[in-house]
Chain A
């Protein structure tokens, strides 16, 4: 009723009444009559404003008020209420107006003036940035071969470093205690024919052209503009590059200044040139062991400040993108003896003397796996074993090299090429350090993606170490390289733990892995018990939960194996969360009653505890399946430098990325601050004593979410830190796959790779990773019942010293076919039971006695490579032979049956086992 008249009209009415009242010309009766008339008249309805005016007018005039039958107290209350209301309204209106104005100003500022969209600065925690070594006298650039330094080396001989600025040639001269000598060149000596070609010059342009690339001490990736796709040159090829050399302690330093000339066009259409430049310095020196250290100090990479140099109009952004130092120091020619050792998956060998299929792309894999923030594939990359160790090697008879990425390893890739690539005649291998990353971003809704270079660089110093060993009386192999790596990483773990740097204080809580700290009686079978997953095809409002095993049935599985006397089994529960294996990690602990509920899980845990069985919870830590519940995308999800949320891509059954999923990577810092303690407490509440942490050992990524910005190098330290916190609360902590940083503190590694990538450049898979880890940390194979060749899978696990894994369910797995967990083809416990018992007995006889030993040897018995019988030797003298062939084979220690195993103990006792 109050709303039927406009405010304006009401005010008018009120004003009229007020005026009348104020004039005191209206008698009480008239006023009452008027008031009554106002109330009763249909056209003039009472409004609050009118009422307010009348009450206000009557406050000072008792008679008038009496005549109007207005109670004073009521009127005061009413007026007070109105005052407050008015005040509130004013505050609201003022606040909203201010906000609107502020937002408008903000939008105008950001949109019209562009604004700085926020260059993300990463913290410097765990980023090593040392001062460059002081430089001494300059070395003349046209000087011939000059001895720089000579030090005693770990072989009992000396290592001398020489350098010829005129030829850009670095030479290491090595001797050992026996007097063996070896000369290492930073680029391969030209063949006689090539030398002739060089002298003839233009008549043989191939060599002349390539000489600049080959002799470059640095291979540099840089851009002159954000959209030019980047350039990749040997430093000697870069037009106008200025090079200076200086003495430093036990070595020398090369300083490069790279000019970039950009042609621009002004508004009149005239062109003009602008010169930019950046510089970098590289230190080459020998350490106390005679190893060659190559260091690119961050402080020596000098670029013009972003704002001055970055030209928005032309999108010019001359920047360093990547640096590879001494790219050809390990170069070999086709037909040479020996091979490269790469830690690809379990480890791979690339021989120089085998016919090679033409390839166009260099082998380039990041240490610690792909970073999905930057590595974008149109189709799934299925040749995808990843690199677990920050090292590679080269072996040639009595000469071996092991090269370590010492600092900023998480930003390094191993780069390997074969003859024909880059128009070169060599095999080559080196580290490629990513100073900045290229990333893809859409700049419109058309779906077209463009490649950009990230602006900030949070990386610290790049440091590599080349360790050469020579012995003319020995034939080295990948086993020796693996041992070098093992020694290197164990030392590194201890260095981190004993470091004065407070960033590493968290390691004080735990013992990093070493043979002394190792579990002396490890479980020899990992039995994964799969609980449930959600039917992904279900479109109903209540998605169907496909239960494969309830907690009660899991208990029966534990009971049955225990009854059989299979005492050394660890059990791992997968998919126990409410939504199953691909459930949302933000809500882990609401457990479905259909699998037994919280009570059932607690009961299972207490049963396991009572029976002294190791029962572990498989925990998804960082992959968000669906939208992040209880958090916003902005808080919890990883972004790329283009500020887009990064999707975790799932490969569908047909082998392409599934576009229907909205999965994300969780920001590690979000996990750190919001999830870590919840997870630890939740798992403790459920009674778990052991945890298998997903992602910690097999997934590493950068986060450009401004809220949580974090580099790979930092993320891995956070992982290690979390693992130490888990270790403080749980008996054992396991990780998957086994990246080196995670192996430093994990008790077990699950699903360790037992082969290398399916690439033509990798000729053979070898157990480098296993040789590094055996005796330091226990590791388990992938589930053998998932393999298409069960026998081969068991044999490979035994050969590589990996304890066996089985994955079981209580029911047959037909119902999993429409879930994401759809490649578990056979897993019914009852059907697999006999195989599990057999596998247990095999592991018990073959692997249990050597569980705490180092692997000291590994070789093919019946051929140089790719034979049927392989032998693995352990430090306690045990030799284990495995025969992949379908006929029995003789070995020096006895006959190994077809598809069987031969175990020769140190006392010469030989025992065989059949696997098939």
Chain B
């Protein structure tokens, strides 16, 4: 009774302090942070700006009075009744706010019944309002009724499975509908502790894999476990936060591996977008500090939100893993984060961030633009593509197509709008329009599917004509050949004419093709018959460079990975056409000189040039053919590409064998040594390049310093 009275008194006093003084700062127009999104289909992995998506509508603060202000809060949770629960760690209490963000009551626990909280770091509320707290300072989980009455303190888990040095430090806790409790214990790299409803340890859940670096992997291969004793042990990353939604556990990990955010199914597997890397490359490209995702939450529309503490960014993903928005920044201004701790989303589309830097809660409200995007995406998910698709009200505006079109009007290059409009048009069998949208969005998959339908339609309409024309041309060609043969038999050439320019070109091509198709004779002829000249080699290489560039230009949008032609670095492409030839020739000549090869340098150079013939013959036609291919035929494309490469490799081998007169075994040896030599040159080049850059840098710096002095 006494205890109850004290509790009521405590609540009343606290209430008196807080009830009317949650600071509310109204919204303002422009946001003091960047707003953008990361397009999955963008071929350059760039962030693209968007109009403002979320604005701070309120900042919830508490008066600076005794027991009033939050102190080092660690966690926040929005309960099923809309109330907000805050683990106010520094004040050893749980603060409960009503849904209108005014103070409701606080739970501190009591010494008498052993419920006194000590540095609570997490609070979770289940469907019936039971409040589960990770009482970190007391190394336990503790449960309160929805009115804040102490119910139960869970025992420290024990099991044979747990290691001897198991140290239970519950930091985060959630509970599923079956009553299983999931706990993140600080420093436990075995995974999430799964406890039964009475706190018995059941198993580890969703264990992370050890992320080894390349050198660690090599060390593991080379040294035994025994030998590695005493070295630093690499442990799996530990989870730093968990959230439960729709039976799935969402978790963020400390450390900086890929799959920083996971959606773990009951079987313990990550099912979130293939465990991809959630790093913001647009940001990391220009900044050295790594990101640290510290909390994740999911709203009723299955949009997932994750917050990065290093840069103060919030990322929103839709249920397909497409990034809708990224926004936020670190700082001490209005709406800027300093030590963000926790992130929540309510059913009104608002986002709440517990900001540890100034012990406040920021409430972010969607802008009209974000609302439009969300409505459009939701309608698309629900299959309401056009007005007629909406069985509910048939409103002309409440459909995905209309809304995505509006989004596009507001932001001409919001790729998701372009992509989604394309998808809707595709579903409506308006393939050519869909293709156009997919192309603007850079969506190769969508473009491929639209093109496939267009191609099918085209072939359906014109196949008979095309086939007839093709057969007609074939017959005409055969007849022409037959007639020409007869004519030549009747009128044999008696006098050898000096070949004209075209005939010379024809002969050159014939010789080129002959070498590529008859490499044994072809390469030996270079050495022993003195066939081929430097001029021929240069022509072959130039033709290769030209065909390579043309093939890049002619490859279809789909097979170019959605990249625009203007982003091709022609200089690099040309360099890579020439560099392998030069390096291999030099290295091979060096190797064969030592191994008594018979080939001269000119033979190696000319032979090397002829090795490019398969590229010349296949690359450009293949690129042109891609104009008629979809991604379904990509394996075919790859096979042809692989065959071409294999052909070139064979030619290189035959060239080494032919021009140097080696037997096959020695040719293999030379081939391997040449490759090794090329690798050595590459390494040497890297070293020399590094040194050279340093030298240049030194000279430049020295010159600058001198200029400053003068």
A residues near B (Cβ < 8 Å) are 106-107, 110, 115, 117-118, 354-355, 357-361, 379-384, 420, 445, 535, 537-541, 544, 634, 643, 651-660, 755, 757-760, 763, 765, 787-789, 792-793, 796, 812-814, 816-818, 822-823, 825-828, 831, 866
Contacts and interface: CB of A to CB of B under 8 A. Distances in A.
6 contacts: A107-B706, A379-B330, A539-B569, A652-B282, A653-B48, A758-B333
A235 to B, nearest CB: 29
Contacts of B707: 634
A354 B332 CA distance: 19
Contacts of B61: 355, 357
Nearest to B21: A355
B144 to A, nearest CB: 29
Nearest to A535: B566
A812 B28 contact: no
Interface stretch (B91-99, B404-412, B477-485, B583-591): B404-412
Contacts of B23: 354-355, 357
B282 A654 contact: yes
A689 to B, nearest CB: 32
Contact of B30 (A659, A755, A812, A831): A755
Q: Which of A106, A355, A420, A660 has the most CB of B within 10 A?
A: A355
B101 to A, nearest CB: 14
Contacts of A659: 285-286
Interface in B314-369: 326, 329-336, 358-360, 367-369
Contacts of A361: 332
Contacts of B283: 654-656
Q: Which of the listed residues A358, A656, A792 has the most CB atoms from chain B within 10 Å of its own CB?
A: A656
A359 B357 CA distance: 9
A420 B64 CA distance: 10
A811 to B, nearest CB: 9
Contact of A822 (B48, B59, B63, B367): B48
Q: List the 5 shortest-distance A-B pairs measured between CB atoms, nearest first.
A: A655-B34, A383-B333, A654-B282, A758-B32, A654-B283
Contacts of A814: 412-413, 418, 440
Nearest to B335: A758
B487 interface: no
A544 B565 CA distance: 10
A232 B358 CA distance: 25
Contacts of A789: 29, 367-368
Most chain B CB inside 10 Å of its own CB: which residue of A383, A654, A788, A789: A654
B29 to A, nearest CB: 6
Contact of A825 (B29, B31, B63, B411): B411
A538 B566 contact: yes
How many residues of B sit at the interface, in one of the four size bands? 35 or more
A382 B46 contact: no
A357 B360 contact: yes
Contact of A383 (B44, B63, B334, B710): B334
A755 B36 contact: no
A788 B28 contact: no
A187 B603 CA distance: 94
Nearest to A754: B29
A115 B440 CA distance: 61
B709 A117 contact: yes
A652 B47 CA distance: 9
Given A118-B708, A358-B64, 16 more contacts: A117-B708, A355-B23, A357-B59, A358-B359, A382-B336, A383-B336, A540-B568, A643-B708, A653-B34, A653-B48, A655-B36, A758-B30, A760-B25, A787-B30, A788-B52, A788-B367
A759 B334 contact: yes
Contacts of A655: 33-34, 36, 283, 311, 313, 329
Contacts of A651: 34
A827 B410 CA distance: 9
B51 interface: yes
Contacts of A788: 29-30, 51-52, 367-369
Contacts of B414: 825
Given A359-B358, A655-B329, A825-B410, A540 B709 contact: no
Interface of B: 21, 23, 25-26, 28-34, 36, 44, 46-52, 59, 61, 63-64, 69, 280, 282-283, 285-287, 311, 313, 326, 329-336, 358-360, 367-369, 409-414, 418, 440, 566-572, 701, 706-710
B29 A787 contact: yes
Given A355-B63, A382-B331, A656-B286, A537 B46 contact: yes
A541 B358 contact: no
Given A107-B706, A382-B329, A540-B567, A653 B29 contact: no
A355 B410 CA distance: 38
B175 to A, nearest CB: 34
B541 to A, nearest CB: 20
Contacts of B412: 812-814, 816, 825-828
A758 B334 contact: yes
Nearest to B694: A445
A316 B388 CA distance: 80
Given A107-B706, A382-B336, A816 B413 contact: yes
Contacts of A643: 708
Contacts of B64: 358, 420
Contacts of A420: 64
Contacts of B706: 107
B44 A818 contact: yes
A448 to B, nearest CB: 13
A677 to B, nearest CB: 28
Nearest to A757: B333
Nearest to B44: A537
A656 B413 contact: no
Nearest to A538: B566
A332 B252 CA distance: 46
B334 to A, nearest CB: 4
Nearest to B39: A817
Contacts of A357: 23, 59, 61, 358, 360
B409 A831 contact: yes
A357 B33 CA distance: 19
Nearest to B26: A866
B216 to A, nearest CB: 27
Given A634-B707, A787-B29, A358 B358 contact: yes
Contacts of B63: 355
Contacts of B21: 355
Given A540-B566, A540-B567, A653 B46 contact: yes
Contact of A759 (B287, B333, B708, B710): B333
A654 B34 contact: yes
B326 A796 contact: no
A121 to B, nearest CB: 16
Nearest to B64: A358
Contacts of B359: 358
Nearest to A384: B32
Contact of A818 (B46, B50, B572): B46
Contacts of A382: 32-34, 329, 331, 333, 336
A190 B707 CA distance: 58
B7 to A, nearest CB: 27
A634 B329 CA distance: 36
Contacts of A380: 329
Given A381-B331, A755-B30, A653 B440 contact: no
Contacts of A660: 286
A656 B287 contact: yes
A346 to B, nearest CB: 11
A796 B410 CA distance: 20
A445 B705 CA distance: 13
A335 B525 CA distance: 100
Nearest to A759: B333
A339 to B, nearest CB: 15
Nearest to A793: B29
Contacts of A359: 332, 358
Nearest to A116: B709
B537 to A, nearest CB: 26
Nearest to A657: B286
